[in-house]
Structure 1
Amino acid sequence: MEHQKSKRIRGVILTAAGLKRLQAAIESAEIQEKNGERFTQEELSERMKVSTKTISRLWSLTTGLDQRTLKFCFGAFNLNLRKEDYTCSDKSNDLNKSFEYIHALENQETVDIYSSEDYIVESERQTQKLIKNSTCYQPLAAVLKYPSGPVPLDSIYYIPRPPIEELAYREITQPGCVIHIKAPKEMGKTSLMFRVLARSKALGYRIVSLDINQVDVAILSNLDKFLRWLCKSASVQLNLEPNLDEYWDRETGSKVSCSLYFKNYLLESVETPVVLALNEVNRIFKCPELAQEFLSLLRSWHEEAQQEETWQKLRLVVTYSTESYIPLNLYQSPCNIGLPLQLPEFTHSQVEELAERHGLNWRQNNEAEQLMAMVGGHPALIRIALYYLCRQEVTLSELLQQAATEVGIYRTHLRRLLANLQENPILTEALEVLLSSESSIFLEPVVAHQLESMGLVKFHMDGITISRELYRIYFSKHLYNGRLRAIHSCNSTYKTFISSSS
């Protein structure tokens, strides 16, 4: 068969130099026009005369735009677009490329599509070709992997949640910054961190990415061992010879030794900023003494960066699950410094877009509403459902009917939450009282916060409610059986903390 080549449209992307020039102009405008207060995403969109999605692509440094769009963005801040501000993009837009690839599989064509703003209309046409009777196109189902763990950088299934990404991309360019990404499990913390690190690498920064899950228990139980592990691991990732003995001093202590090692050895040995990413810091919370000491150390580094030029090279990105209760002094925790990013759930339009990326046409009927009525906008729960629907292993009606049962697709997720509740009778009883109420109620603040941290409840003006119908159905069954039933029947003083919102 003769190969047919698709229309070839080249795009351009910002260079690191172009980004710095544009951000400097934006910051100058913020100082002059808003007394230093940052422009919101909507304000930037209106000023630049481009969509908020375009701004997301602009900051990514990886996705192509057309040159005219870049001129709009620069011109909005009285800048002329220079040749050194952009470079040609030779990568396809991931979504468009995936759709074209699937189309090529069916038609045995070769594809050479380049990303551009002008290509959006054409991509919509190609998307519609993939949709047949509201079911998934077979080649996509054949290669689709079960959604587990972080979303890869090159995946079409990552859905941005503006303005989260834009805030993170801008903040990482600030000297001495701290970004802490928090949310319950499976909300996309590590996926976002990967994209912040990719952005940092595109800017020429050095990356030190450490996963606390990889640290031995014996190391976590000892502050000195943990800080030596931190310094040695950072040295290896920066391609520097570990030199701990020269800086470690028992008389000054581990924290001072670690600080001197980072400042006088690691940071002084590199010319560019260093991004230190610490993933799953919540594991440290299980060791209160280590957590108190280490988190206060990170805070001191952030404070030193306000006056020390060397410390300004260090940029911190910290992720942790809010499901872990943090018994820490508020003023020593990193949670109240830098930029906090609380990951929101998907919106209705984002669920429809993700469904479309799975080859499902949910924009005409109410499938998105049906699924969200059960699981809300929880990213992992939405993706798991789309995986099974795409593979045609179950219909949406069957999926929803079985969702809160032991044979449903969410059984592993629900069992984990149930196990966490069983370890805390106070939380179990509080949730049970909430389940028995037909309206919002008020709980003792600490208990309410812990339930919210697990993703089980949502706050409203008139109290809290169960966060999603999936949990209401499942826990209504399991909190009235066996040991948990006994908790329900006892005359607990806890209920004095609760009053009906009505």
Structure 2
Amino acid sequence: MISDMKHSKSTRKRGIVLTIAGLKRLQAAILAMEKVQNNGNHFTLEDLGDRMNVSTKTLNRLWSLNTGVDQKTLKLCFTAFNLELRREDYTILSEPNNTEVYPTQLLSLDTGEKKLSPHLSLESFVTQHHNQLENLWSYPDGPVALDSPFYVERPPIEELVYREIIQPGCVIRIRAPREMGKTSLVLRLLAFAQMQGYRPVNLNCKQMDATCLTDLNKFLRSFCWQIATELGIDPKLDENWDEEIGCKLSCSLYLQSYLLKQSKSPVVLVLNEVDHFFEYPQIAQEFFGLLRSWYEEARQDANLQKLRLVVVYSTEVYVSLDINRSPFNIGLPIRLPEFTKHQVEYLAQRHGLNWTSQNEVMQLMSLVGGHPALIRIALYYICCQGTTLEEVIYEAIANGGIYRYHLWRHWAILQENSSLVKAYIEVVSSKQSISLNPIDAHKLESLGLITYEGDRILPRCQLYRAYFKKQLGVAEFEYKSLQKRA
């Protein structure tokens, strides 16, 4: 019997599960093949099983992220979609108790699923692996890293942009106020595009010199130079730029006949903070018209079909644009919403908090709504600094609390513009529907300070109403004093 036990122990196999990176790679490849071979329709579980030569039961084990499969099976699944299985795509489970070697990888990507290993409770997960979690708990400032477990998908947005980016000559428009997750989404879109072999060019429009934004020729040459440099192509602007035919036509020919012609793969061009150009109407009119023309010409031009354009901005257009020359009414529009109650609960769980009763979720959301950045700041302080939810709420209302640096940044921006100060005084003070100067309203929306409820303009959350009503009470007095002196 002892020998039988030894034999059983020695032949017991260790299972493996997909990591977050592995699941992302496989899902991206499946999405791409669905688009190409199945008219964009999802493969059924049976279809996937036939393609991978595995049973649907095995697929369910694979998708669960907490039940091991053997390495040969995982290789079959990846090979079916022309992928090579990499070491970072999977991690090892000890089959006897399903204890994972790298437990921080077990969390599901699906916002509808909140599962850990059946033998690993939330409490023990945090207790036993506190060091690993501490490494993940950096202050939430800026985009969510690709390998972070704290990214929250907002279905069907991710799937929509992945499907669209493989369309020849496509345009994707992503709009949301600041700190709502635009950059985090773009990072994932670019990672997906690179998996397809596409070449990314990620430009920030705010980084362009002011001198370029008053001269169209300088602007377009700078724009083309940046794209060429990002693609690793010698710009050779002087050799490929003809002043006699005009800078817009030169720019189009440079893009089509020089840059895109050299690229065997599609180029994903991301234009971040494009609403910065709204402050330069002459540049905006001409440049936006040019973007629109590339989209329209891509229907016939094979080189322009390689261009996949992603336009990222914070607010609606407030410059006057010819509707037939605007790039803001074409392509796939994406607008990032705030987190739902379920998504906040899910993110809290990712931080090791058991907020399943939703009382805590409702308390936090009553203060900051579903604002992604403000939710993550609260969870960071509760998990890493030992702050209670009650302390977060009380101190935030009293003096800004954990949000004071966030609020000071907005306050500094408001103080630079007396028109914005006056407009926001009206917003936080009024309980009735108000109308604002459209440009002021757009700027406040781009900052994320207001939201629309039907035709009403409201502060984005109660935190903003409470804090800025107190701060702007002083500003209102100073503003009226200045008016009297004038």
> What TM-score comes out, normalization by structure 2 length?
0.77
**Alignment partner, residue 17 of structure 2:** 9
Name the counterpart of 1:311: 304
| AA of the residue aligned to 1:282 | D
466-475 or 85-94, which deviates more: 85-94
* Partners of 2:108 and 2:377 in 1: CA distance: 31
Deviations 1:90-131 (A, max 9, x none): 46689x99xx9xxxxxx9x95487899999855365352446
Distance in 2 separating the partners of 1:390 and 1:278: 35
Matched, 1:126 2:123: no
Cα pair distance change 1:116/1:318, threshold 3 Å? closer
User: Do 1:429 and 1:487's aligned partners in 2 also have CA atoms closer than 8 Å?
Assistant: no
**What letter matches 2:200 in structure 1?**
I
Assess, with a 3 A threshold, how the Cα gap between structure 1 residues 272 and 156 changes in structure 2: closer, same or farther.
same
The answer to whether residue 369 in structure 2 is matched with residue 376 in structure 1 is yes
Change in 2 beyond 3 A, CA 1:458/1:143: closer
Structure 1 counterpart SS, 2:117: helix
The equivalent residue for 1:190 is 183
Q: 1:386 to 1:124 in 2, by over 3 A?
A: farther
CA deviations 1:312-342 (Å, max 9, x no partner) are: 11001121222x9742425344222211211
- Cα deviation, 1:339-380, whole Å, max 9, x if unaligned, reads 121111111111111111112221135211111110111111
Aligned-residue sequence identity (percent) comes to: 45
The alpha-carbon deviation at position 435 of structure 1 amounts to: 3.1
CA shift in 2, pair 1:434/1:290, >3 Å:
closer
From 168, 175, 198, the equivalent of 1:205 is 198
Alignment of 1:289-368 (within 5 A): 289-322=282-315, 326-329=318-321, 331=323, 332-364=325-357, 366-368=359-361
Question: Would the aligned equivalents of 1:434 and 1:465 in 2 still touch at CA under 8 Å?
Answer: yes
**1:392 pairs with 385, 395, 400, which one?**
385
Q: 1: distance between equivalents of 2:182 and 2:365? A: 21
Amino acid at match of 1:291: A
CA contact (8 A) 1:181 1:189 kept: yes
CA apart distance, 1:273: 1.1
TM norm structure 1: 0.75
Q: Is 2:180–2:373's contact at 8 Å kept on the other side of the alignment?
A: yes
Give the 5 Å matches for 1:417-436: 417-436=410-429
Could you tell me which residue of structure 1 aligns to residue 435 of structure 2?
Answer: 443
* Contact 2:114–2:349, Cα closer than 8 Å, also in 1: no
Q: Does 1:68 align with 2:59?
A: yes
SS, match of residue 149 in structure 1: coil
1:214 aligns with 2:207: yes
The 1:160–1:409 alpha-carbon spacing in structure 2 relative to 1, beyond 3 Å, is same
Distance 1:312 1:25, change over 3 A: same
For 2:411 and 2:28, locate their aligned partners in 1 and report how far apart those are by CA, in whole Å.
47
The amino acid that maps onto 2:338 is: E
In 2: Cα distance, 1:70 partner to 1:303 partner = 46
CA displacement at 1:139 relative to structure 2: 5.0
SS in 2 for 1:399: helix
Does residue 81 of structure 2 align to residue 85 of structure 1? yes
CA RMSD of aligned residues (A): 4.1
Report what 1:36 is aligned to: none
Matched residue SS, 2:172 = strand
Q: Which runs of 5+ in 1 are unaligned?
A: 30-43, 56-64, 73-80, 101-106, 492-502
Q: Which amino acid is 2:327 matched to?
A: P
Q: 1:231 to 1:130 in 2, by over 3 A?
A: farther
**Residue number in structure 2 paired with 1:498:** none
**Are residues 124 and 357 of structure 1, via their aligned partners in 2, closer, same or farther at CA, if it must alter by over 3 Å?**
farther
Q: Is the 8 A contact 1:457 1:467 kept in 2?
A: yes
- Separation (CA, whole Å) in 1 of partners of 2:183 and 2:177: 12
Q: Number of aligned pairs? A: 440
Whole-angstrom CA distance in 2 between matches of 1:434 and 1:117: 38
> Match for 2:379: what amino acid?
L
Structure 2 counterpart SS, 1:126: coil
SS of corresponding position for 1:22: helix
Change in 2 beyond 3 A, CA 1:6/1:221: farther
Q: Distance in 1 between matches of 2:309 and 2:400?
A: 42
Amino acid paired to 2:433: I
Which deviates more from structure 2 when the two are superposed, residues 441-450 or residues 308-317?
Answer: 441-450
Q: 1:460 aligns with which of 453, 458, 463?
A: 453
Q: 2:280 corresponds to which letter in structure 1?
A: C
Give yes or no for the alignment of 1:232 onto 2:225: yes
Structure-1 separation of matches of 2:86 and 2:388:
39
1:147 aligns with: 140
Distance in 1 (CA, whole Å) between partners of 2:222 and 2:334 is 27
- Match of residue 39, structure 2, among 27, 42, 47: 27
Q: How many angstroms does 1:138 deviate by?
A: 5.8
Secondary structure, aligned partner of 2:270:
strand
How far apart, in 2, do the equivalents of 1:8 and 1:151 lie?
27
Q: Contact 2:369/2:461 (CA < 8 Å) preserved in 1?
A: yes
C-alpha contact 1:177 1:338 (8 A) present in aligned 2: yes
Given the superposition, is the C-alpha separation of residues 117 and 282 from structure 1 closer, same or farther in structure 2, using an over 3 Å criterion?
Answer: closer
Report the 3-state secondary structure (helix = DSSP H, G, I; strand = E; otherwise coil) of the residue aligned with 2:148.
coil
Task: Work out the CA distance in 2 between the residues paired with 1:311 and 1:230.
Answer: 17
Determine helix, strand or coil for the equivalent of 1:306.
coil
* Per-residue deviation, 1:404: 4.0
SS state at 1:307 partner: coil
Matches within 5 A, 1:89-100: 89-90=85-86
1:402–1:91 Cα change, 3 Å: farther
**1:208-248 deviation per Cα after TM superposition (whole angstroms, max 9, x unaligned):** 22223433333333322222222222222222222212221
Name the CA shift for 1:163/1:395 in 2 (closer, same or farther; >3 Å).
Answer: same
Contact in 2 for aligned 1:183/1:342 (Cα 8 Å): yes
